Amino acid sequence: MSINVRRCCSEFVLAALLCGQVPLACASGPAQQAVSMPAEVEFDSNPELRPGSASSAVRYRLRPQYNYTYHVDDTNEWSAVLGANLERSSNTQVSANRQDPSVELKWLQKAPTSLWELNAKYSKASTRTTEFDQTGIVTADRTQTNRSVGANWGKYLTERWMANGGISQQWVDYDTNTLVSYRNSLASGGLSYDLAASQKMSIFFAGSHYSPYANNFVLARSSSGMGLVFGYVGALSDKIDLNVQAGKVKITGLDAGYYLQGKMEVNYKGNYMSGGASFDRSAVAGGQTGGLTISNSLRLQTRIEVAERTAVDFYYTFTKNAGFNGGKTNSMGAKYLFQISPLWSLNFNVQRRTADQRTGYAGANLVGVGLNYSHSDF
């Protein structure tokens, strides 16, 4: 795909619609509940990713989450996800104390030949994380408030042809004048064709409009994007899946121009090892981009099942923002996971983060240990 929904609602194409896939059928039982309670202590040698001398911090984090799904009948379900990120820092000058809530509500109607979905989301998060992940830009530790509503639909016109579409509205606000609050509207639609049981081809058109809400950045201006994407998703074997998307997008505003956009993703799942690799070139928005801009990202990850209850994860991500505030960020790390019991697990992780910005090059080392309680159905 050209546009990756995991990164921002300002991106043009919803992945589920582009692939033309219908979600899995509802599980048995009218209601399902799940709860998780990860707790972690983490040392960060340079939370601000500041070049030169830096101050460190220790963060104590608790992230409770509650999931509720109610199956009205065989085709309709309501679901809610309630969560929070509670964080205390040993050095609030570089890493703030946080109490960030998140709420997600969704209605889904799934029939053999159609799908309808309504969703609403609300969340608060550290700009240190959101801007770094979305656009490869480093900011101070302030708060992003993200609200969005959306609707998606899909319907088989024939046995193999499916029409899909979606609309969404996003409101993003910051509690600092160094970042620009904005609004983003999205509409998309297209067709997919089932080549086989596990293979699809698709074509999608999408449009997005970015509007700065509080113009603290002199260069920020309204920006629009219109793109056309061709996609293919299929299973190369019983262990390897392939997702390829390519197209072009026209952007107006600060980074006006025509840009190639696309994505290539390969995932592997074996008996004792799984992993994936993806490259994504997509249009995104952020608090310092001044409008829609092109961002490139590379992601690699693998998991090795060392023993029955023990696994090790390795990952690497690279992001390059091609816009006015262009920069490069890297993140690599490893995580050790041990399943103490069916409900309790222990993890230990190490991470290296770097940023190459207009202000200079900086790096940070992170070390953390965590304990997680998780009950998937109670």
List the pLDDT tens digit at each of the 378 positions of the chain: 343 333 433 333 333 333 333 333 334 468 999 999 999 999 999 998 888 888 999 999 999 999 999 999 999 999 999 999 999 999 999 999 999 999 999 999 999 999 999 999 999 999 888 877 766 666 778 899 999 999 999 999 999 999 999 999 999 999 888 888 899 999 999 999 999 888 999 999 999 999 988 655 556 678 899 999 999 999 999 999 999 999 999 999 888 899 999 999 999 999 999 999 999 998 888 766 667 888 899 999 999 999 999 999 999 999 887 655 567 889 999 999 999 999 999 999 999 999 887 778 889 999 999 999 999 887
pLDDT score for 197: 83
Backbone angles phi and psi of 128, in degrees to 5: -60, -30
Q: Are 363 and 353 in contact (CB under 8 A)?
A: yes
Q: Which residues pair with 374 in a beta bridge?
A: 36
User: What are the start-end ranges of the E strands in the chain?
Assistant: 31-44, 57-62, 65-71, 76-89, 98-111, 114-126, 143-156, 161-174, 181-196, 199-214, 223-235, 240-251, 257-269, 273-284, 293-307, 310-321, 328-339, 344-357, 360-375
Nearest to 210, CA basis, from 287, 126, 263: 287
Output Rg (C-alpha) for the chain, integer angstroms.
21
pLDDT score for 255: 82
Q: Distances from the Cα of 27 to the Cαs of 23, 73, 334, 368, in angstroms?
A: 12, 11, 33, 35
Q: How far from the centroid of its chain's Cα atoms is residue 23's Cα? A: 18
- The runs of H, that is alpha helices, within the chain are 15-19, 127-135
The structure tokens listed for 235 are 């299973």
**Four-point Cα dihedral 224, 280, 140, 104, nearest 10:** 80
Taking the C-alpha atoms of residue 248 and residue 88, their distance in angstroms, rounded to an integer, is: 44
Taking the C-alpha atoms of residue 19 and residue 3, their distance in angstroms, rounded to an integer, is: 12
pLDDT score for 128: 83
- Enter the DSSP assignment of 290: S
Domains of the chain with CATH codes: 15-375 (2.40.160)
Taking the C-alpha atoms of residue 265 and residue 239, their distance in angstroms, rounded to an integer, is: 14
Taking the C-alpha atoms of residue 260 and residue 245, their distance in angstroms, rounded to an integer, is: 11
